[in-house]
A and B are shown apart, each in its own frame.
Chain A
Amino acid sequence: MNDLAKVFKSSKTFIFGIFITLIFAWILSGTYSITHEEAGVVTIFGSISGKIMTPGIHYHLPWPVGKLYRVNIKELRSVEIGHTKTGFKGQLSDDLKYKIVDYSDGAPSVSFMDARLFNKQFMTGDNNIVDILLVVQYKIISPDNYLFSFADPDALITLEAESVLNYYIATSTIDRLLLRDTLFAYQMAQDLQKRLELYNIGVSIETLFFKDVMVPEGAVEAAFRDVKSAEVDRGKRIEVARNKANAILSQAGSESRQILDLAKTESEQIKNTAVSDSTTFLKLEKEIEEKGSILNYHLWVTTMSNILGRAKLYIVTDNEALDTIYLQDEN
């Protein structure tokens, strides 16, 4: 009996001990730590309490009075536009089909299209179809706004980005899009940021870039590729012509040089001949001065012997016979 009382007494203490421990544990459950990548928002009975909690150890009133929301504010988050898997409520009727409802004839007629095609296809200002995959990266800069001002901030970012993208593509040419102009992406990021600020969702657009800009596969793609190779062909054709032109020019250059060289040589010859002729003349003239006109006779005879020495000669003693010979030769 005494023992029973002892057990009872000790179990009473034990239960009381457990109760106290539970109370302590409940109070201590409000202790939390925020890592260097996070920011914390605490609500007390559903209302946001005070400031955004920065990294460190903190305390809030335990559940169900207080509640902690953690948000990673360093993480670069991203959404993709043009991707197959960006389906939101009501957008995709199943994995691959996009439901299009046409009510223009009164009764609804439902048709389905390939969601993948629909999701990446846009119309350009010059009526071309282009396949786009756009990536938007953002950070949360205001955790309380991100948490409590919009039901699905990621959906808002994706759909607003799609709307901005649609506008830019609808006013651009396909050629400009295929250049993947970075200025384009920059302006789009600015526009998107401005639009999102209307809804105060506490995000900052960090980057926006085109992951894919392609023309539709098949015949269209082949035709675009052929434009590229036509461009290369044009370049090649011109290069071949330039090479040929260079060859022509260098040949013309060497021909010109030959002509000039020849003319130079000829000019020298003419001058040299003149000099040597006049030197000869002056020498002879000097001889005549000294030795009299007998030299004239000598020169005449020498020349004549030279000429007649090479020539075929007919010598006639009778002057009247000359006519006969002449006539015979005619025949």
Chain B
Amino acid sequence: MKKIVFTAAAVSAVILLLGSILFTVKTDSFAIITEFGKLEKVITNSGLNIKLPYPIQKVYRIDKKKRIFSPAALEVFLPDPSNVLKNITIGYYIIWDINDPVKYFEILKNDLSAENRLSDNMRSYIYNIIGKYPLGAFISTDSDDVKIDEISSKITEAAKPDFKNNFGINIITVDIKRVILPEQNKQKVFERMVAERERISHRYRAEGEEQAKIIISETDSTKKIMLSEAHLEASKMLAEAQAEAASIYSDAFKTNEKFYKFWNLLQSYEKIFAGESTFILSTDNKLLQLLELDSDLTGIVK
């Protein structure tokens, strides 16, 4: 019995001791060993390691991975005071990792204080660099004007040495993720947007009206052309018919011109006196000569 208890105690002690002196460093971490609170060494490679047992040596793990942090947005004044939109709100993020774990550990200890540093110290770089660019460098329909990439890399370059030297932080990139207007300026934009759309609506309606007018007037002139063409065609047909009639007439009439003249006169009389006419005739008239007894023709009667 005693033997078993002793064995169990010995095994436990060994496990505890092993647990206190052995530690692993993960592939995505740095490990910092302190001896009585004083920094002893940094382990950057992953694997199993040995240290003096607690409380002589302590191990702190620091994340080796890159990380992203998006601080509060900043309101920045732009250099063009004539522009209505003279200030903009910039949303941005920082991608960073640790390139000097010792400095990082001694000054910042953890990511929370690192993020406070990042948002505090980055501001001045952002104000300095962004404040030199006009609004068109952030928003413009001409993509050559938009300098967001240039601005981002300038901020990154400006901030790098500060964070590297003072905090052991490697700034990989500072990037702009949003450009928007402060609330007080938005209303102006909304009003302009409304005005612009109203102009477009008005233009559409006017265009409809105008095109309708054009269609109707074009159609009216087409109609006129159609009718005049029809009239032209009709008069051609009539002229041809009359020419044909004339040729028929002349073919017939030239057989006896004298008789034609006589007959034609008679026919035109029929036409001229087609209505109710008034004649005052003398009995000398050839037609009425029989009304008098001394006529040449009465001889026949006698």
Set A93, A125, A260, A304: member contacting B141, Cβ < 8 A? A125
Given A230-B201, A255-B227, A256-B229: A90 touches B65 (CB 8 Å cut-off): no
Tell me if B113 counts as interface (CB < 8 A to partner A).
no
Tell me if A32 counts as interface (CB < 8 A to partner B).
no
Q: Which residues of A contact B226 (CB under 8 A)?
A: 249, 252-253, 255-256
Q: Is the CB of A46 within 8 A of B241?
A: no
Tell me if B162 counts as interface (CB < 8 A to partner A).
no
Q: What number of A residues sit within 8 Å (CB to CB) of B?
A: 127
Given A45-B46, A227-B200: A274 touches B244 (CB 8 Å cut-off): yes
**Cα distance, A75 to B222, chains bound together (Å):** 67
Q: Is the CB of A104 within 8 A of B77?
A: yes
* CB proximity of B218 to chain A, nearest CB, Å: 8
Q: Which residues of A contact B255 (CB under 8 A)?
A: 282, 285
Set A126, A237, A252, A253: member contacting B209, Cβ < 8 A? A237
Q: Which residues of B contact A242 (CB under 8 A)?
A: 215
**Cα distance, A88 to B177, chains bound together (Å):** 14
Tell me if A163 counts as interface (CB < 8 A to partner B).
yes
Set A43, A128, A235, A326: member contacting B189, Cβ < 8 A? A128
Tell me if B60 counts as interface (CB < 8 A to partner A).
no
Q: Is the CB of A252 within 8 A of B223?
A: yes
Given A267-B237, A267-B238, A284-B263: A237 touches B208 (CB 8 Å cut-off): yes
Q: Which residues of A contact B87 (CB under 8 A)?
A: 104
- A257 to B, closest residue via Cβ: B230
Main secondary structure of the interface of A (DSSP, over half): helix
Q: Which residues of B contact A311 (CB under 8 A)?
A: 273, 276-279
Residues 192-221 of A, flagged 1 when their CB comes within 8 A of B and 0 if not, give 000000010000000000000001101110
Q: Which residues of A contact B280 (CB under 8 A)?
A: 313-316, 322, 325-326
10 contacts between A and B (CB under 8 A): A8-B1, A122-B178, A151-B67, A167-B146, A220-B193, A227-B200, A233-B208, A256-B230, A278-B248, A304-B269
Q: Is the CB of A125 within 8 A of B74?
A: no
Given A118-B180, A220-B193: A270 touches B200 (CB 8 Å cut-off): no
Q: What number of B residues sit within 8 Å (CB to CB) of A?
A: 125
Tell me if B284 counts as interface (CB < 8 A to partner A).
yes
Closest 10 CB pairs of A and B: A263-B234, A274-B245, A278-B252, A234-B208, A267-B241, A237-B208, A241-B212, A256-B230, A151-B67, A223-B197
**Cα distance, A129 to B85, chains bound together (Å):** 13
Other A-B pairs beyond A90-B69, A296-B262, 4, CB < 8 Å: A43-B26, A215-B193, A281-B253, A316-B283
* CB proximity of B80 to chain A, nearest CB, Å: 13
Q: Is the CB of B211 within 8 A of A46?
A: no
Q: Is the CB of B278 within 8 A of A312?
A: yes
Q: Is the CB of A224 within 8 A of B197?
A: yes
**Cα distance, A171 to B179, chains bound together (Å):** 12
Q: Which residues of A contact B63 (CB under 8 A)?
A: 151
Residues 111-143 of B, flagged 1 when their CB comes within 8 A of A and 0 if not, give 000010001000100010000000000111111
Q: Is the CB of A46 within 8 A of B74?
A: no
Given A270-B245, A278-B251: A245 touches B204 (CB 8 Å cut-off): no
Q: Is the CB of B177 within 8 A of A263?
A: no
Tell me if A48 counts as interface (CB < 8 A to partner B).
yes
Q: Which residues of A contact B25 (CB under 8 A)?
A: 46
- B65 to A, closest residue via Cβ: A151
Tell me if B220 counts as interface (CB < 8 A to partner A).
yes
Q: Is the CB of B223 within 8 A of A249?
A: yes
Given A46-B26, A125-B139: A270 touches B238 (CB 8 Å cut-off): yes
Tell me if A155 counts as interface (CB < 8 A to partner B).
yes
Q: Which residues of B contact A233 (CB under 8 A)?
A: 204-205, 208
Given A122-B180, A313-B281: A102 touches B74 (CB 8 Å cut-off): yes
**Cα distance, A172 to B200, chains bound together (Å):** 18
Given A233-B205, A284-B263: A15 touches B277 (CB 8 Å cut-off): no
Q: Which residues of A contact B248 (CB under 8 A)?
A: 271, 274-275, 278
* CB proximity of B225 to chain A, nearest CB, Å: 9
**Cα distance, A308 to B185, chains bound together (Å):** 104
Given A125-B140, A163-B176, A271-B248: A241 touches B276 (CB 8 Å cut-off): no
Given A90-B69, A90-B71, A267-B240: A304 touches B287 (CB 8 Å cut-off): yes
Q: Is the CB of B139 within 8 A of A313?
A: no
Set B123, B200, B241: member contacting A266, Cβ < 8 A? B241
Set B218, B240, B282: member contacting A322, Cβ < 8 A? B282
Q: Is the CB of B220 within 8 A of A167?
A: no
**Cα distance, A52 to B299, chains bound together (Å):** 152
Q: Which residues of A contact B208 (CB under 8 A)?
A: 233-238
Q: Is the CB of A166 within 8 A of B178?
A: yes
Tell me if A248 counts as interface (CB < 8 A to partner B).
yes
Tell me if B21 counts as interface (CB < 8 A to partner A).
no
Q: Is the CB of A240 within 8 A of B212?
A: yes
Tell me if B202 counts as interface (CB < 8 A to partner A).
yes
* CB proximity of A288 to chain B, nearest CB, Å: 6
Interface residues in B172-201 (C-beta closer than 8 Å to A)? 175-183, 186, 189-190, 192-194, 196-198, 200-201
Q: Is the CB of A263 within 8 A of B146?
A: no
**Cα distance, A68 to B193, chains bound together (Å):** 56
Q: Is the CB of B223 within 8 A of A248?
A: yes
